[in-house]
A and B are shown apart, each in its own frame.
Chain A
């Protein structure tokens, strides 16, 4: 036994025991414990295996910088890998497993890597696994991935909920230690809206680990009183368990709140994590300071721990790190740890000080070794002793814990995430944040201070600065007297010479001093290169513990100041953030909106099969019993529509109402064809171009009044076209009097198509819809029997007699039902987008398969829709440029296989007969294909060089990349059905 629980003291509740499990063993802790403190209290020093060498590792810190104690927490779908035991709150029934070991933590096969370590230096992957090349993917990488690494992600779906939220405040205080608490209190008393966020589950920061008295009260009681006052104010939000991980533009901070990560069974009514974006007028970063490890041989043995962490475990959790404790330090922190532990009955084996003289008072009889260094630690899975070297003399000292302190680094991560580079301070021997502008202030030890009293005062002072900037005067609270402070001063000691084992700089990535030396020798001297070459400062701890030592050591190797080396780049996130939190509620079926048409219910009860079309669900076809496969249904639907009548949902088309005195002029400028003289009560097919002359979108334009139009866009371009029109009206021609509103969702729209369409329509419309009264391209408001106002358009996509009837969305299903009923005597057939597509190919109409961003109106056979006589419209000017009028442009044609039994494939290339397949011989490509039930054969639309001159030519349809045989097809007009348009005008 070495680490142990004290019988009293600390902030754990000994009356509330908590059972948990670690690697199959049932252990116990108390409420208020972290997993790490409970493991230590159970004397479990060995908690993991290192990344590369599989060395035994123990708990090093008591906070978020922990590099070693990474465990998998939870079971099944809730298991979460790489959780730092030092920040995981203990809960009843918690299940933790160690990682990166096989078959067990104590007997790890991978430890053989330690023996192979001469071959596993920095960059060894790149040097060793070079040949044969094919081996990398199949052999080396899987092998390396298995041997090296952290925990494994579960493949099951996460059962928990996550959410995202915004918060707003005058002052965000990050960190609830002495500086943060005083800053929050000062600002809150001045009436500011304050958010106080801290990553810990108990607010108080370092004060929870201190034995000082503040204002004649224990530090923890002082914290309690301040929090009570803050909690009583409506303007203050306390956010424990909330890590502010990033500082973004406009003073927005990202934070993740662990709402239920400390509960055995989270409530399904709450998220487990909440991602916050906090818009703060000003912020104070009071994130404290991180203690640096010392870099000496065997500094990674379980039982070697930061001195401040040992004080936290002792003073906050009532856990002694050992019974016979050695301290290796270069400053006051090590002495304070020794004093605290000695006061609780631990034996101090020795205090080893790297400095020439100690100058700290210790109880008489304490062994002090100054100007000395540890060169090696003894023991295997836990420390049993150490070797100390002084002036060439080595001595072995027995101990069961070794506390180290290499000085302090202010935690300035957040302040340097937006491009500001940390600045080296000779005075503090640490990197500090530069001035980062008036909206983020650093306070307390994050600003380089060390005493608690200084931090309290600084927090208050910085809050007053913020308040002044916000125009809210405040006053400093009375500063309580702090008793029992120690001097945390230190002298830098980057590297302890004479190491007789690996001296680790970065525990998590198994980077030791010789790797740094190798990186320098091999030309990776720049600190950013050193990082990539050795992998130091990566993974979950991001170099929180090791990076400053690295900079100091590299500076030493190069004989320059750390200021010349600089740091690597600080980026969000400060600590790992789960994908769940970042996704929030937007996952699985909620990752994007689902749009259903107002006629969805109608389609569903008529047996529709649905297809995803962008965000929409569209009815694809309506199978009937006995039909085998979709083709059979689609063929039936096409024949039924062309013979009798069909009903199709076209509600997903974009619909935009256009109003204004200049509406006609505006439309004339955004469509390539003429719109000014479109008569009221009439519709017209319209083509929009891009400014570069290519076709952008197509649709119909209907005029209801001189100053009122309704235009439709394709389903896919509804959103984009609306933004395009708004841009034209607002940014290009702001002087035109025109307004728009999208009414895509307001109207249910259905196509009634086929020779008997009028017979069905007559039964439900009051108005006269005869051919004379309502001719082809008529468009106007009508009244349905029963009084419902609707809009009727005589437009056709299929070539048949066809109407589109639009009714207010909520009436859609009812009207469709009535139409089905009215159509029953005429064998009305519901049909979907597949049959719609077949009929438009048969008729040679284009969609975005042909309008692919590379085709002009003329390419598509729509040259007459280019109104060259108009003075200006979008796309006009560049349509005449070189290349767009070339003779060999791809033009829209029809294709039919010479052998009627062959089927065309969309995307196939076209070749002249006998030509070798090559890019140079490419004649074009097939854009759309279908089986035409009317013609009883496969037909297609294609874009072919000079296509319109080549009707009758035989051409090879080549699709061998996808394994299809060559087909010979005849080039023909793209209009396969009713080329005289006789049916349209019936």
Chain B
């Protein structure tokens, strides 16, 4: 019925404006990385219960990809970061 996501660019918005891609933790490996690491990146996903990070796309808002950190049991949202900032921070 509803839940609200605090978009860092648009403020508190209903979840219907977003589409969800899934787990944000896998990092795209280098082109030279092993078969195994590429296989894990493309095909293997954990299915944890509790606190998770996900890629959400604010498709009907600012069109930015976001990383939403939330609890998939309680649906509590802990924080939302722009995916670019998140990726840069991970790289650093």
Contact = CB atoms under 8 A, between A and B. Distances in A.
Interface of A: 166, 246, 248-250, 252, 254, 277, 279, 419, 572, 691-692, 723, 726-727, 730-732, 734-735, 871-872, 876-878, 881
9 contacts: A249-B3, A277-B14, A692-B43, A723-B57, A726-B63, A727-B83, A730-B84, A731-B24, A877-B31
Most chain A beta carbons < 10 A, residue from B12, B39, B63: B63
A878 B35 CA distance: 8
Given A730-B84, A872-B31, A248 B63 contact: no
Given A727-B57, A730-B64, A252 B1 contact: yes
Nearest to A727: B65
Contacts of B35: 881
B42 A691 contact: yes
A878 B33 CA distance: 11
B92 to A, nearest CB: 11
Contacts of A248: 1-3
Interface string B75-87: 1010000111111
Contacts of A878: 38-39, 42
A898 B39 CA distance: 45
The secondary-structure label for the interface of chain B is mixed
B2 A254 contact: yes
Interface in B12-46: 12, 14, 19, 21, 24, 28-29, 31, 33, 35, 38-39, 41-43
Nearest to B75: A249
Contacts of A723: 19, 57, 59
Most chain B beta carbons < 10 A, residue from A249, A252, A254, A872: A249
Contacts of A735: 88
Contacts, number: 78
Nearest to B57: A723
A730 B31 contact: no
Contact of A726 (B2, B3, B65): B65
Given A692-B42, A723-B59, A731 B87 contact: yes
A732 B41 CA distance: 13
Contacts of A877: 29, 31, 33, 38
Most chain A beta carbons < 10 A, residue from B3, B28, B33, B75: B28
Contact of B2 (A250, A734, A881): A250
A252 B65 contact: no
A735 B89 CA distance: 12
Contacts of A876: 31
B59 to A, nearest CB: 6
B18 to A, nearest CB: 11
A633 to B, nearest CB: 39
A730 B2 contact: no
Given A249-B2, A250-B77, A872-B31, A730 B65 contact: yes
Contact of A279 (B4, B55, B74): B4
A252 B2 contact: yes
B31 A246 contact: no
Which 6 A-B pairs rank lowest in CB-CB distance, beginning with the nearest?
A249-B3, A734-B84, A252-B2, A250-B4, A872-B31, A731-B83
Contacts of B85: 734
A871 B55 contact: no
Contacts of A734: 83-85, 87-88
Contacts of A246: 1
A723 B19 CA distance: 10
Interface string B53-67: 001010100011100
Given A246-B1, A735-B88, 9 more contacts: A250-B2, A252-B4, A277-B1, A279-B12, A723-B59, A731-B65, A731-B83, A877-B29, A877-B33
B6 to A, nearest CB: 9
A88 to B, nearest CB: 25
Contacts of B87: 730-732, 734
Contact of B1 (A254, A730, A731): A254
B4 A249 contact: yes
Nearest to B85: A734
B7 to A, nearest CB: 13
A692 B35 CA distance: 12
B72 to A, nearest CB: 11
Contacts of B33: 877
B1 A732 contact: no
Nearest to B5: A250
Contact of B21 (A166, A277, A727, A872): A727
Contacts of B14: 166, 252, 277
Contacts of A871: 31
A252 B12 CA distance: 12
A730 B3 contact: no
B1 A572 contact: yes
A279 B1 CA distance: 12
Contacts of A872: 31
A166 B2 CA distance: 11
Given A250-B77, A723-B19, A723-B57, A732 B4 contact: no
Contacts of B64: 726, 730
A250 B16 CA distance: 14
A816 B88 CA distance: 48
A723 B87 CA distance: 17
Nearest to B3: A249
A659 to B, nearest CB: 15
Most chain A beta carbons < 10 A, residue from B1, B21, B33, B43: B1
A252 B63 contact: no
Contacts of A572: 1
A731 B55 contact: yes
Contacts of B28: 732
A279 B11 CA distance: 14
A365 to B, nearest CB: 56
A872 B75 CA distance: 37
A435 to B, nearest CB: 14
A167 B80 CA distance: 24
A166 B17 CA distance: 14
A654 to B, nearest CB: 15
Contacts of A249: 2-4, 75
A952 B35 CA distance: 39
Contacts of A691: 41-42
Nearest to A249: B3
A87 to B, nearest CB: 22
Contacts of B2: 248-250, 252, 254, 277, 279
